[in-house]
Amino acid sequence: MDYMSIIVIILAVLLILAAFFVIRSKDLVAAVVASAVVSLISSIYFYILQAPDVALTEAAIGVALTTIFFMITIRKTRRDEE
Amino acid sequence: MYQILEYAGMVVTTIGVIFLFLGGLGVLRMPDVYTRMQAGTKATTLGAVGAIVGVGMMHPEWFFKTSIIALFILLSNPISSHALARGSYKIGIKVWQKKKIDAYEDALKKVKKEEEAV
Amino acid sequence: MRKILAVFFIGVFGYYMLAILMDFPFGIDHLNPGLAGAYLKDTVSKTGAVNVVTSIIVNYRGFDTLGEVTVLFLAATGMSALLYDGKTMNRSRQNASVIVKAGSRLLFPLIIILGAYVFIHGHLTPGGGFQGGAIIASGFLLMFISYRNYHVSHRILSNVESTAGSVFVVLGLLGLLYGATFLENIMPLGIPNKLFSGGLIPLIYIAVGFKVGAELTALLDTMLKTVK
Amino acid sequence: MIYAFFGVAIAGLILAAIRFAIGPTVPDRLVALDTMTTITTAFLVLLGFFFERYIYIDVALIYGVLGFVGVLTMARYFEGGL
Amino acid sequence: MSRILFSFIVFFLFWVALTSSLDPQELGVGALVSLIIAFLAGKEITEDGMKNFSFRRIQYTIRYLFVFFWEMIKANLDVAMRIIQPVIPINPGIVEVPTKLKSNVAKLALANSITLTPGTLTVDIIDDKLYIHWIDVKSENPEENFKEISSVFEKYIKEIFE
Amino acid sequence: MMFDPVLMIALPLLAAFLIPVINRFSKAIPKYIPVVVIGFNLYESIMLLPYSMVKPVIVIIAGWQPPLGINLTIGPLGNILALMISLVGFVVAIYNIKFVTEEPTEKYYMLFLLIITGATGVVLTGDLFNMFVFLEITSISAYALTAFIRDRNGAEAAFKYLLIGGIASTMILLGIAIIYTYTGTLNLADIAQKMQYVDPKIALAAMVLLIVGFGVEAELFPLNGWAPDAYSQAPTPVGAVFGGIVVKAGVYGLARMIYTIFNFEGVFYFLMIMGLITLLMAEMSAMRQSQIKRMLAFSSIGQMGLVFIAFGLATQRGVEGALFQMLNHALLKPLLFLSAGYLVYYSGSKNIEDLDGMGRRKPFLAFFFAFGAFAIMGLPPLNGFWSKMIIISETIRNGFVIVAAFVLAGSVIEAVYYLRVVGRLYFKKHDDNQQEKYVHGSAIFAMSILVILAIVIGLYPDLVMQYLKPAAEELVNKSLYIQSVFAIN
Amino acid sequence: MVYYIASLSLILIGLYGVLVKKNLIKIVLSLSLINAGIHILLIAIGYIDGRTAPIFSTPELRPEQMVDPVPQALVLTAIVIGLAITALALTIVIRLYDHHKTLDVSKIRELKW
């Protein structure tokens, strides 16, 4: 058990919790913010797995663009899950 | 010379990382959004800048790129936390306070009145 | 009822997937000497690009990338077709504060340069056309959300998009014209790790960068503008 | 030494993540996300140092810039400016 | 013209720092890219153009940076002291601070400096009044606040940007 | 004269990219671009036929030999399907010229062009991941086209389709991940060669994931929930494209997976059972529909069920029957959809009841519809008869008498509901005199092409069968395919 | 190994969301979760212990020191395709909301699901 795998396990726990939060949260904005966290942690994963190209793409698309699409959609529809 | 720079870089990185941790702690412990923002912004900005510049000092040929990251963080972090503070004030999150001191509320009311008058 | 059924289904699916994944090799070189070995060995000498991922995307599997560009193009087309209303609307009601405005005005050109850097250096560093285009689009987004009346001409965007897309295909067809195959590298390879290397790869990535940037910007603008 | 850096930075990330989980309002979560983005940027630089690859720094650079755009967009959403 | 030249130089320096290389190919492409972007967007980032490179401004900038970093470190120590205590000693509120700065970029610099220094966070700017969330409110009088919070920076920023 | 086959994909893409610019200069030109470009594809795929029948044409892309780079592998099967796709695309493109008026029209033509390009790419490519990319092009343009008429049902159908399709695409990706892990390659022939060394348990999992993925486009039960809504809510020509093109691409993918890549005996029985269920469910549902386009959609699913049954036989003649049935379906379903589109347009209602007496008022249209209905039911001299006969006789010859009985029962049900509609067209009186609308010549021309082809194939089935034989052989005997890909090294 | 479990959990959570949730935006979010899980899985497949990214930025790097580049290339394509699907799905959601004034799937059913 080296240090790196401890970090990976911690990140995995955070990732799964964030994913749970996406599903559970009643507030759609909070869910979208949580999905940004999922994307953030998966980006760190790609980085650790020696895939900087993918990490960069995930950073460019996951953190900014996808989140923003969701935010615009929520802005144009409604925020609460009925 | 390189040796000195490397040790200095290590010290700077250590300080930075510690402040990153303190930033996280502050975000967790503070009582309301605005104070959390204070802790989060200040501590993590210095922390990140410290850690990044420290790495740049340990690897002198990385220095320029790392300082660009540091510059971006220095410029962008306060802006985003300002926008967040303004946004959360606008959706009606109250300031946690012992004594009531809120000059902004009155100013906003005034602005609103002027807009209605127009 | 539906929940129980779903949980049951997911349980079964998860069990089987887990059983399969447990046999998966992790962290060991299980394909030696597969496709990957060949790519790693030959890329620098045969394509001139240092970034193997880029050379796979643009050169070995360039056809995929053409398809990928098309997918994004499709999404943009589909969205603008679906949101088409025949009339345009104002973007937002609330003005941003002076700080945000000044900050985005300052950061905007720097972000654009950053995007250009990413797609020009696609064959040397991580990143490439898509990432660069996405960064440029984010730069425009910064302006859209800070300034109510910031206007980008859709005419120009769509022209850029069409031109860049056609350039990609035409670069591919050049190969046929010179008696080689579609998308084949017909330019000198250059010295690895210099900017001018990799033959067609940087050119294609520049075209892709422009195209993706224009597409995503147009997409964001349509989404922000139309419907209430 | 570098492992200690990782440990402390990850600890900061976890603390921010806890704040993210307990909320209570969405701006709270956004503050946590903002903090996490900044910590992640620094963490990626440290990881790049650990892997001894200069090119990895690009990812951190893009991450810092685009994380800012994402958070700013959400902040503008609350103002009603999206 | 002067504004475009100024922004061209800034962009080019940025590019060189980004590539960290003096290879002629990189420099040539960088010059091309910065030139294009300077023509398209260069007018927007500055109002004074080449005047920004005058000796006085550069000198003030350097002095300002030192002051700023010192204040920032103080701020962080201050935050750190507050965070690690069992009961956090705070008395927050939002106060008003006047400013004499006119240009937007100067206001941005001031607001950012204030946000990064001890116990303060800029919430909004309405005309020439800054609204600041202060973690430990000492007075409610705008003039006193001005002295306490922003007077240090304002004189440097005024020299640098105006 | 034969051009490089890669132009069949490159040129439509170029044209689609250029349409927005051309639209600036003239609003009238974009509607003719699909006709020209797909016409080129048609010409090209006909020219290719003599070559690909002898041995598969391998087109190298970017100058890399098969396992390294992507290559197009145009065997008899791929070529015939490409021919079918471009034929249907050509006809529908002609039909489009006057029919599409919904703004923004140039976007419609772009999407239309790309859906056909995607389907062509799926059937021509020899690379698994490339197939996935082209399948996504096809399905994403299909989602957009389903919602193209911006009414409430269109959006709902599109969302349903997108949801199922989105999950399917993730399943394909998962399957590709498993396959790549164990074979280390993405070339179809290479995978097929290496698949025999892979643990059967894992191969089975990969196959199930891929079948689920391609089954959505191929309308395999129970993944076909999207089809009736999408067919009926999309603009009419798009319904024809779904039936004639998108489904073909899905079936090709499915057949390629089952026959070439994996070798499991059991999957053929599974396919046959699923096909039977698909057939019966669809025909029963089609009986109950009151909207004509929905009815046609269910009928289309039923036809696909028949195709799956024939594929499930896994014999040379059975596969021939399946391919013949696909060809007939590709000719007749667009005919039915296109004529039904105009019928709906004239009667102003989607319901079958409102089509009364159309046979008198619109003899041409009613004739086209009736012809399509008779042919698809399998009335003897027409083309549908031959394919059904091959399938049924082959089913009986292999001992699946019960299956054959069910197929016959399904045919009877099919005949009942088609005759119901045809009867209404001709024998019901309807006497409100609506204003006369003109039937566009281009539409008549488009439908006539299909009718003539159907008659010719019905009279001389051997004309087609000589091409279908090598195609079926390619599927049944996979070593042929593998060898031809590696022969060029 | 941790990566496999994490990615599988993401896929399963996403599937659960798609199957059970009634909110349209939640469904689209769940789809993107599934995608994220598959991307992590693919990259983890290509990883080889102790090796570095497949970029020959300095001359002393050897091919034997590098991870498998193919999954990375595939994931890049897959991410862009996922973005396209998400964007289109959200557009359709906006359209649906315009017509029905609700995001609840169970209230939208005019067609039989």
**Count of domains in chain C?**
1
Instruction: Tell me the domain boundaries of chain B.
Output: 2-93
- Of the partner residues G66, G77, G87, the one whose CB lies closest to the CB of residue C79: G87
C54 interfaces chain F, CB cutoff of 8 Å: no
**Of E111-125, F18-32, G34-48, highest mean pLDDT:** G34-48
Query: Which has more confidence, F489 or C195?
Result: C195
Q: List the single residue in B14, B76, B87 with the smallest CB-CB distance to D78.
A: B87
Q: Residue G84 in contact with residue F150, Cβ under 8 Å?
A: no
Count of C-D CB contacts under 8 Å = 50
Residue B69: closest C-alpha in chain D: D61
Residue F350 lies in a domain: yes
Q: Which residues of B touch D3 (CB under 8 A)?
A: none
- Chain D residues with CB under 8 Å of B91 CB are 27, 78
C37 interaction partners in chain G (CB closer than 8 Å): 63
Residue C103 with chain B: CB contacts under 8 Å: 75-76, 79
Contact predicate F471/F77, CB 8 Å: yes
Give the pair of three-digit tokens for residue G78: 């897959």
Which of F47, F52, F65 has the alpha carbon at shortest distance from F2? F47
Give the sheet arrangement for strand E93-98, strand by strand: E93-98, E129-134, E120-126
Across the interface, do C97 and B82 touch by the CB < 8 Å criterion? yes
Residue G112 has pLDDT above 60, yes or no: no
Confidence check: pLDDT of C227 > 60:
no
By Cβ distance, the residue of C92, C127, C145 closest to D72 is C145
Helix axes F316-347, F76-99, angle to 10 degrees: 0
Going residue by residue through chain A (82 aa), what tens digit of pLDDT does each one get? 678 888 889 999 999 999 999 998 888 888 998 999 999 999 999 998 888 889 988 888 888 888 888 988 888 887 777 6
G2-110 CATH pick, 1.10.287.3510, 3.10.20.30, 3.40.50.2300, 1.10.3720.10 = 1.10.287.3510
**What 8-state DSSP symbol labels residue E124?**
E
Q: Is C11 exposed, middle or buried (0-12, 13-18, 19+ CB in 10 A)?
A: exposed
What was the pLDDT predicted at G13? 92
Q: What is the pLDDT of residue B100?
A: 66
Identify the domain containing residue F402 by its residue range: 287-470
Q: Is the pLDDT of residue F287 over 70?
A: yes
A neighbour chains, 3+ CB pairs within 8 Å:
C, D, G
Q: CA angle, A30 as apex, A28 and A31 as ends, to 5°?
A: 60
* Cβ contact C208:C129 at 8 Å: yes
Give contacts of C94 with chain B, Cβ < 8 Å.
90
| Least-confidence region, from E47-51, E107-111, F132-136, G25-29 | E47-51
Comparing CA positions, the residue from F129, F113, F247 lying closest to residue F191 is F129
The stretches of F223-315 forming alpha helices (DSSP H) are: 227-233, 236-241, 247-255, 266-288, 292-313
pLDDT of residue C87: 62
Residues of chain F above pLDDT 70, percent: 96
pLDDT of F435 > 60? The answer is no
Residue A16 falls within a domain, yes or no?
yes
The answer to whether the CB of E160 falls within 8 A of the CB of E61 is yes
Dihedral of the alpha carbons of D60, D66, D69, D75, in degrees to the nearest 10 = -60
In contact, A52 and A43? CB cutoff 8 Å? no
> DSSP string covering C69-86, please?
HHHHHHHHHHHHHHT--S
Angle, CA of F421, F425 and F427, to the nearest 5°:
105
> Which pLDDT belongs to residue C86?
61
The lowest-confidence range among C163-172, E9-18, E33-42, E148-157 is E148-157
Please write the tens of the pLDDT for every residue from E57-94. 888 888 888 888 888 888 888 888 888 887 777 778 88
User: Positive or negative, the Cα torsion across F349, F350, F352, F356?
Assistant: positive
Do F130 and C63 count as a contact with CB atoms less than 8 A apart? Answer: yes
Separation of first and last alpha carbons in chain F: 26
Chains that touch B (3 or more CB pairs under 8 A): C, D, E
Question: Minimal CA–CA distance to F187: which of F257, F145, F127, F124?
Answer: F127
Which residues of chain A have a CB within 8 Å of the CB of C54?
Answer: 53
Residues listed for chain B: 118
Domain positions in chain G are 2-110
Domain count, chain F: 1
Which residues of chain E make contact with B97, given a CB cutoff of 8 A? 91-93
What is the Cα–Cα distance from F234 to F226, expressed in whole angstroms?
12
Residue C107: pLDDT over 70 = yes
> Are B37 and E73 inside 8 Å of each other by CB?
no
Cis peptide bond upstream of F12, omega within 30: no
ipTM: 0.92
The pLDDT confidence band at residue C33, using thresholds 50, 70 and 90, is low
Maximum Cα interatomic distance, chain A, rounded to a whole number of Å: 48
| Mean of the per-residue pLDDT values of chain C | 83
In a domain? residue F133? no
**Closest-CA distance of chain D to residue G58, Å:** 9
* Helix-then-strand count for chain C, H and E: 8, 0
SS3 E98: strand
- Asked if pLDDT for residue C88 goes beyond 70, the answer is no
Helix (H) or strand (E) holding A5: helix A3-24
From chain B, the residues in CB contact with D27 under 8 A are 33, 84, 87-88, 91, 93
Residue F25 class from Cβ within 10 Å (0-12 exposed, 13-18 middle, 19+ buried)? exposed
pLDDT score of E147 more than 80: no
CA distance C104 to chain B (A): 9
The residues of chain D scoring below 70 in pLDDT are none
Check contact B-G (3+ Cβ pairs < 8 Å): no
> In angstroms, rounded to a whole number, what is the distance separating the alpha carbons of residues B77 and B82?
9
Q: List CB contacts of G36: < 8 A, sequence separation 6 or more.
A: A38, A39, A42, A62, G10, G14
Three-state secondary-structure class, residue F187:
strand
Q: Residue C210: which pLDDT band, with cuts at 50, 70 and 90? A: very high
The candidate with the shortest Cα–Cα distance to F149, out of F90, F92, F232, is F232
- Partner-chain residue, chosen from C94, C96, C107, that has the shortest CB–CB distance to B75: C107
- Specify the pLDDT at position F431: 58
Backbone phi and psi for residue C89, each to the nearest 5 degrees, phi listed first:
-130, 165
Asked if the C-beta of G65 comes within 8 angstroms of chain A's C-beta atoms, the answer is no
Q: Between chains, do F147 and C35 touch, taking CB under 8 Å as contact?
A: no
What distance in Å separates the CA atoms of residue B13 and residue B7, rounded to the nearest whole number?
10
Q: What is the largest CA-CA distance in chain D?
A: 46
Q: Name the helix (H) or strand (E) containing E44.
A: none
Contacts of D51 in chain G (CB under 8 A): 52
Q: Is residue C169 part of a domain?
A: yes
CA dihedral of F221, F223, F228, F231, whole degrees rounded to 10: -120
Least Cα separation, residue E14 to chain B (angstroms)? 8
Cβ <8 Å between C116 and E37: yes
Question: Is C55 within a domain?
Answer: yes
Rounded to whole angstroms, the Cα distance separating C135 from C139 reads 6
**G94 touching D (Cβ < 8 Å):** no
Name the residue of chain B whose CA is nearest to C101's CA.
B79
- Chain C closest CA to A52's CA: distance in Å? 6
Residues of C in contact with F155 (CB under 8 A): 82
| Cβ-based neighbours of F126, under 8 Å, separated by 6 or more | F58, F66, F70, F71, F72, F73, F187, F188, F189, F485
Which H/E stretch holds residue A34?
A: helix A28-48
3 state SS of F118: helix
F433-462 mean pLDDT: 78
Overall number of domains in chain A: 1
Q: Read off the tokens for E24.
A: 């002629």
Average pLDDT over residues F293-297: 86
The rounded distance, in Å, linking the Cα atoms of E41 and C105 is 9
List the beta strands (DSSP E) in D9-68: none
- Residue C179 neighbours by CB under 8 Å, 6+ apart: none
Question: Residue C174: enclosing H or E segment and its boundaries?
Answer: helix C154-177
Nearest-CA neighbor of D53 among B11, C116, C51, C111? C51
Backbone torsions φ then ψ of F74, nearest 5 degrees: -105, 90
CB contact under 8 A, B83 and C106: no
Per the CB < 8 A criterion, the answer to whether F92 and F338 are in contact is yes
On whether the CB atoms of residues F195 and F203 are closer than 8 A, the answer is yes
Q: Which residue segment(s) compose the domain that A53 sits in?
A: 3-76
Residue in E14, E94, E121 nearest the CB of B38:
E121
Q: Do chains G and E touch (3 or more CB pairs under 8 A)?
A: no
Q: In sequence order, which residues have a C-beta less than 8 Å from that of residue C102 and are 6 or more positions away?
A: E104, E105, E107, E108
How much of chain E exceeds pLDDT 70, in percent? 97
In a domain? residue C4: no
Q: With cut-offs at 50, 70 and 90, classify the pLDDT of residue F235.
A: confident
Whole-number Å distance between alpha carbons of C177 and C170: 10
Residue C103 dihedral angles phi and psi, to the nearest 5°? -65, -45
| Residues A57, C126: Cα–Cα separation, whole Å | 9
Residue-level pLDDT at A15: 92
Mean pLDDT of C130-146: 90
Element (H, E) at B53: helix B33-58
What does the alpha-carbon distance between residue B73 and residue F319 come to, in Å, rounded to a whole number?
Answer: 64
pTM above 0.95, yes or no: no
